[in-house]
Structure 1
Amino acid sequence: MHKLYVKNMVCNRCISAVQQALEKEGLTFAHIQLGEVVLTSTPDNKQLSALKNRLNDLGFDLLDDQRQQIIERIKNIIVTQVHHSEETPKLKLSEILSQSLNKDYSYLSNLFSEVEGITIEKYLINQRIERVKEMLIYDELSLSEIAYKNGYSSVSHLSSQFKKTTGLTPKHFKSTGISQRKSLDSL
């Protein structure tokens, strides 16, 4: 088994695209998830180079640097928690990250801030706000329901954080800001 770390995988379509790239390069995998591929065998340098080029063409990067791998794993855990999980986590994010990555949270936090230029908490807030934007655009839930589903203690807390992050109130965004959504890999 050989693990590869892939930057910019944020959704199920990304997983499908990476899977197709692996198949085109003749590489078999045991498992693919956001940011991580487990190959059934170790690829040679020629295969890795070809895969890297193919992934780059699709907007992904193979990560060789261990620090970048950790950063990408942090991002993928947060994206999964915010965008792909219906349940509110039982643990705090710091505990989830520490347990998942088997590293002290202060190390992870310092590394993330150093490399990304923002804190893990700010990255989490940005992801949550993008999720709220998506829910506002779909217009299927009330603001109270959106606040609850995204772990906010109240509508006012959500509205305050939304305005601080976007410069707009949720109501104003809903009426005019649809084009202001960001792609998840650009956050």
Structure 2
Amino acid sequence: MATLKLHIKNMVCARCNRVVTEELEQLGYQVLKVSLGEAEISSADNNFDINRIREALTASGFELLDDRKTQLIEQIKLAIIELVHRQGEADLHINTSDYLADKLGMEYSYLSSLFSAHEGITIEKYLILQRIERVKELLVYNELSLKEIAYKLGYSSVAHLSNQFKKVTGLTPSYFKEVKDKKRKTIDQVQEK
């Protein structure tokens, strides 16, 4: 039985994993493993119809990645999203460059220049945008104070979080929390203005 590993763009949540699994199973493949940005499938007849897979995934809002550099960009994004959502669970002072280099097994300088050239934004700016979206999410849930959110996301202070939040959104966190009508973006849609 042959297996195939697929790299998939816009696969950023548990719901995405379920949708991709369903799409691949409907095509007759056995899904061996699904994680953010990846799926591994097998075929009883050892044949994989990449065009049918691509069409099915595209119809559900995903993109099959063929190019190695594009796959690496997607892995960087997923690693950053994972880092932002894991902060607070472990060491809050994780060095992003070390984290990415270790996670992806490549020099950070290469990852950084590739990401910037491909996305038109630095890894650091992308990380800031992801953190701000996470702050918005936590503010909307209204379960943590601003001080607790700052601590959870590794900000040095509430003032640092507030300044960065205002710089990105144009609003203070307090005002955002008060109005809550500023639409949040899904994590795969976060990009610089």
- Range class of TM-score, shorter chain: over 0.9
Distance 1:43 1:82, change over 3 A: farther
Pick the aligned partner of 1:87 from 89, 100, 115.
89
Q: Which runs of 5+ in 1 are unaligned?
A: none
Counterpart Cα distance in 2 of 1:80 and 1:87: 11
Once residues 91 and 158 of structure 1 are traced to their aligned partners in structure 2, the CA distance between those partners, rounded to angstroms, is 17
Q: Which blocks of at least 5 consecutive residues in structure 2 are unaligned?
A: none
1:173 to 167, 172, 176: 176
| Aligned position for 1:2 | 4
The percent identity for this pair of structures is 51
**CA distance in structure 2 between the partners assigned to 1:176 and 1:64 by the alignment:** 42
Per-residue deviation at 1:106?
Answer: 0.3
Bigger share in helix: 1
What root-mean-square deviation, in Å, do the aligned CA atoms of Structure 1 and Structure 2 show?
A: 1.8
Query: Residues 43, 186 of structure 1: CA spacing in aligned structure 2 closer, same or farther, 3 A cutoff?
Result: farther
Relative distance call for 1:91 and 1:151 in structure 2 (3 A) is closer
Measure, in 1, the Cα distance between the counterparts of 2:180 and 2:83: 25
Moved over 3 A (4+): 40-45, 88-91
Greater alpha carbon shift after TM alignment, 7-16 vs 175-184: 175-184
Aligned length: 186
* Normalised TM-score (structure 1): 0.92
Pair 1:107 & 2:110 matched: yes
Q: 1:157 offset after TM fit, Å?
A: 0.5
Q: Which amino acid aligns with 1:98?
A: A
Asked if the contact 1:82/1:131 (under 8 Å) is kept, the reply is: yes
Matched residue type, 1:169: T
- Aligned AA for 2:59? D
Q: What displacement does 1:177 show? A: 4.1
